[in-house]
Chain A
Amino acid sequence: MKNIVIIGNGAAANSAVETIRKHDSQVPIIMFAREDLPEYSACALPDCLSGRVYRSQLFIKQLKDYNRMKIHTRFGYEVQHINTSECTLNSGQETIAYDRLILATGSRAYIPPVPGHELPGNFVVKTVRDIDAIMVNQPHKVLVAGSGNIGIEVAEALQFRGCQVTIVELRERILPRIFDKEPASRIHKILTTKGLEVITGERILRISGDERVESAATDRRLIPCDTVIWAAGVKQNVEMASAIGIKTGELGGIQVNSFMQTNIDSIYACGDCIESMNMLTGYPSLNMLWPSAKRQGQVAAFNCLGQKVEYEGAISFVVEDIYGITAVSMGMTSDALGAEDIQILEGENHNQYWRVLLVDDRIMGMQAIGISSGLGAMMALMKTRTPVSQFRHTLADSALFKKAAWYLPAQRFLNA
């Protein structure tokens, strides 16, 4: 094999190159990326905003690491065109032939085109440069638009920095894609107790200001602010792929098979830019999370190298630190499960809350607040589709239990 070219420099791309190098120290690797920066953790950006993590700490790699790994980097260069019949790609600077191409183009932050969204003072939190820009702007009164995990993290980070923060969420509850109503309302209470203003069920209609952001108007009120952070979702970077005939799916991501192959020979895709199979449902879903990206990058790399590894599917797994309280969501929410017959096991004691969603005696999702132990075991049970009745039976039988002692921490969540 002559070479492997990767477009992207995020979690999926780097997981891919690390996997390649673990198994093949020689094959030439070329990495293209729009940002001229070495790999950094996008997930840690809010921690940098808050000041808890230095900007330099964000970087997972230095340029010398790429050199050490014998990776040819083209950071700051955008791939303009790919010729799939000749297997070449063009960056405006050069034309390169590829044997295998991995698309890990990721996603970009989405800003709804409301009037005023282009005024100075409007930001997203997706890249290091975004953080730089926000800090230069010296925010004081901040409006965070959107209450997904990015929105909540950014809000807490800026409050920690001394800003006065208001969160506006379109839907009736915060963190709607990650938490059911009950846990979401508990988190909502934590946020307001800590001094965040949280508004749900309102839409931002307009950002106003003379030369920069001065206020935002929802369908119900006017919110004075000097900074708007849009945490309203992301759009996948699939335009170039579409242009060259790579199939995308209904959800907007690149379609891949379970070997991370696109419909075009020798071209693979992984990370935020793809639609991945949901491990629990078998259906395509968007799983734009760090661990999914890493695993997909790994699988893509194996298959590039000729080792057939099948992707088991993605599973949602979100860990939030909300004012020191750990909030976790894994698998599917009640909304996502839709019309299924869901059995809910819910419990709380003292400062802990959990809810487990079961369909057909199998764990399909779990949400927990204030708990950090036993969740890994629940995740493993969920991934292995272990029926809860079998779990209980195994625990009750001493001989069986010996082989599955790791079940024990999960026991308290699955009491009958």
Chain B
Amino acid sequence: MSKFRGYAGFILEVNLSNHDFRHKELASEFCRDYLGGIGFNAKIIYDEVPAGIDALSEENILVFGVGTMVGSTFPTSSRTEVSAKSPMTGRFGTSNSGMFFGTQLKNAGFDALVIKGQAEKPSLIFIEDGEVSIQDATRLWGKDSWETLDILKNQYPGAEVALIGPAGENLVRFACIENGYYDAWARTGLGAVMGSKNLKAIVVRGTQGITPFNAGALLQVSVKARQLIESSPFFKPFKSYGSMNAAMPYGNFKALNAHNFSQGCLPDWKQNFDRPQVEKLIKGHVACQSCIIACAHWVDIKEGKYQGLQMKDMEVTPTTSYGSGCGIGLEASVKAAEMSQRYGMDMVSTGGVIAMAIELYNRGIISQEDIGYGLAFGDDDAILHLMDDIAHRRGIGTVLAEGTMRAAKQFEGGDSSAMHVKGLEIPMIDPRGRWSTWSFGILTNVRGGDHLRCRNPIENLRYNENKHDFRKERFGFDQKMYDALDMPDALKTQAIDLESDTVDIAIMSRWAEDLINLFNSVGVCIRPPVEHRIGPTVIAEAFTAFTGIKISAAQVMQSAERTWNLIKLYNLREGELPEDSKFPQRFYEQEISGKVLDEERVQEVLQQYYRSRGWDMLTGKPGEEKLVELGLNNLS
């Protein structure tokens, strides 16, 4: 039996340049200060990645951080965070994925995997129960990720695989790291980092088990957490319909990324993407490790152009990125999801780049000659063709593979069609159509324009009310919901005002970001019913039961806040400027359903957010007092 409790106990460092392996034992202060997952990643990258390096050089470090609770019965404890300097944004790049990779890595003996250097030729890392080897992967290079998985899963039954497809190999800037067949560490171009290291795949198989500190307490808190999650009003809809629950409301609000953020919603959205159409294609539900919701769907297309396609899909991401963003139908968006997985490309960025390309084409800035074929919103054949060209850096794909921010600069007037924040394409949500904590968070997310790190745990999708000049959104729930929210009282009264039935966006954003960061540290899922009901109190209890490290709710939140601040410091060291935190100009100038973002008001909310974080209100730099509070004041 291991001497470690809750943790596997080691960080594995692999140097692809000299084939050096190191097992580094976890120190308890490190665990208490950073918890795990994104916390570990942030500290390692801050300390060991020199400032200003080229993200695609051998000096970049790719870190897989398994969430602390992975391997336990705690509901939804499946998540692993992967981080590196992003070739897209030039700042901290990071992404989170569930399923079973984390389980295998942790059961193989490692809480984190740190990959340094660059292999001389295409390689794969094989990890099993404490043993590591680097193997030649030349035979796999060039194969798409599903073909590669067929081979590796057959060769290593029971193993999980993190791998890249042709997009990663070709250093497409928004290439992703695939997590098995149907999942990915998608955003910020981590696949390109892996490709630049000549690393095709990481195969992990672990059978060692994890020793909990207090098995009885672990089971108890797991039961409690499950009851909490199941009691959330968000539970049943999410269980039956998954992330698609946001698709119709946002369409009704006219707050989608339709046709490259040129309309709030496509006219045929409801007809093509509503529940009946979706349910026709769904055959069953699939869960990640230890998940009680099983929000993912197994899709089986039985007729039509894409007949025969079966995969785990039907998420709001491909349907909005391709269906709404590029205007293709429901089944075509599933096909596009399949190809995104096969090529290994982030769906949001791919959809964003293609939507921009179509808009540029419609504006006459790119011609059919440039592409080799025509482009149009809704033309799924052309779009799939373009995806292929991008993945293989062919023709116009060479430029588009650079992402919207860089590609736009290649075209006269292209910038106005590039829908990104800090170089990362904006997903799904048009903040003009619906202004809320969720849309605000796109601006402040430390990894760039993205919606997954700042969702109000008590988000009310029934309402779309921009209150008090962008400073507040509607609360819309009763006293019971207010009371049940696990948030320190002082902060809760600031964040939610029952009398005016409003939520203060600046304050709630800061809380939501730290809370999600906490989830990404301990490896728990951020889906609405979980984010709603699981707070730092339950997490601290679970953390202590599993690891034996005594920690309070306030302390776990502080660890999460520390990680967020550390990442901000990293970004600042990489040259982030205050003016980077702005939406595309279009959001301030072009109206959607009569609405537009007021730049000044948004800036005010941003300043209030900085203040609530203890950061300088103008520059967004963490203040000295805050750094001292978090123990980050003596960093190099």
A and B touch in the complex (CB under 8 A): yes
Assess whether B271 is interfacial by the CB under 8 Å rule: no
Residues of B within 8 A of A67 (CB): none
Q: Contact mask B151-177 → A, CB, 8 Å, 1/0?
A: 000111100000000000000000000
**Minimum C-beta distance from B327 to chain A (A):** 33
A349 to B153, CA, bound (A): 11
Residue among A350, A412, A415 with the highest chain B CB neighbour number at 10 A:
A350
Q: Contact mask A381-416 → B, CB, 8 Å, 1/0?
A: 000000000000000000000000000000010010
Residues of A within 8 A of B157 (CB): 349, 412
B154 & A415 in contact (Cβ 8 Å cutoff): yes
A412 to B155, CA, bound (A): 10
**Minimum C-beta distance from A400 to chain B (A):** 16
Closest A-chain residue to B300, C-beta based?
A398
Residues of A within 8 A of B155 (CB): 349
Closest A-chain residue to B128, C-beta based?
A350
A349 to B128, CA, bound (A): 13
A47 to B223, CA, bound (A): 44
A350 & B156 in contact (Cβ 8 Å cutoff): yes
A412 to B157, CA, bound (A): 9
A412 to B154, CA, bound (A): 8
Residue among B155, B156, B157 with the highest chain A CB neighbour number at 10 A:
B157
A349 to B156, CA, bound (A): 7
User: Would you call the interface of chain B mostly helix, strand, loop, or mixed?
Assistant: mixed
Residues of B within 8 A of A350 (CB): 128, 156
A350 to B131, CA, bound (A): 12
A415 to B156, CA, bound (A): 15
**Beta-carbon contacts under 8 Å, B109-160 to A:** 128, 154-157
Residue count of chain B within 8 Å CB distance of chain A: 5
**Minimum C-beta distance from A262 to chain B (A):** 48
Residues of B within 8 A of A415 (CB): 154
Residues of B within 8 A of A412 (CB): 154, 157
**Minimum C-beta distance from A233 to chain B (A):** 38
A415 to B150, CA, bound (A): 12
**Minimum C-beta distance from B32 to chain A (A):** 37
**Beta-carbon contacts under 8 Å, A324-373 to B:** 349-350
Residues of A within 8 A of B128 (CB): 350
Q: Contact mask B301-315 → A, CB, 8 Å, 1/0?
A: 000000000000000
Q: Contact mask B553-565 → A, CB, 8 Å, 1/0?
A: 0000000000000
**Minimum C-beta distance from A80 to chain B (A):** 57
**Minimum C-beta distance from A142 to chain B (A):** 35
Residues of B within 8 A of A349 (CB): 154-157
Closest A-chain residue to B283, C-beta based?
A398
**Minimum C-beta distance from B311 to chain A (A):** 15
A350 to B157, CA, bound (A): 10
Closest B-chain residue to A352, C-beta based?
B157
A415 to B154, CA, bound (A): 10
**Minimum C-beta distance from A229 to chain B (A):** 36
**Minimum C-beta distance from A205 to chain B (A):** 47
**Minimum C-beta distance from B507 to chain A (A):** 50
**Minimum C-beta distance from A62 to chain B (A):** 36
Closest A-chain residue to B205, C-beta based?
A350
**Minimum C-beta distance from B188 to chain A (A):** 34
Residues of A within 8 A of B154 (CB): 349, 412, 415
**Minimum C-beta distance from B133 to chain A (A):** 11
A415 to B151, CA, bound (A): 13
Q: Contact mask A119-157 → B, CB, 8 Å, 1/0?
A: 000000000000000000000000000000000000000
Q: Contact mask A177-215 → B, CB, 8 Å, 1/0?
A: 000000000000000000000000000000000000000
A349 to B151, CA, bound (A): 12
**Minimum C-beta distance from B213 to chain A (A):** 30
Residues of A within 8 A of B156 (CB): 349-350
**Minimum C-beta distance from B104 to chain A (A):** 14
A349 to B157, CA, bound (A): 8
A350 to B155, CA, bound (A): 8
**Minimum C-beta distance from B286 to chain A (A):** 15
**Minimum C-beta distance from B90 to chain A (A):** 41
**Minimum C-beta distance from B367 to chain A (A):** 47
A300 to B157, CA, bound (A): 43
**Minimum C-beta distance from B50 to chain A (A):** 38
A350 to B128, CA, bound (A): 10
A412 to B156, CA, bound (A): 11
**Minimum C-beta distance from B350 to chain A (A):** 32
A350 to B203, CA, bound (A): 13
**Minimum C-beta distance from B291 to chain A (A):** 21
**Minimum C-beta distance from A353 to chain B (A):** 13
Closest A-chain residue to B284, C-beta based?
A398
User: What are 9 A-B contacts defined by CB distance under 8 Å?
Assistant: A349-B154, A349-B155, A349-B156, A349-B157, A350-B128, A350-B156, A412-B154, A412-B157, A415-B154
Report the 5 A-B pairs with minimum CB-CB distance, sorted nearest first: A349-B155, A412-B157, A349-B156, A350-B156, A349-B157
4 further interface pairs, Cβ-Cβ under 8 Å (given A350-B156, A412-B154) = A349-B154, A349-B157, A412-B157, A415-B154
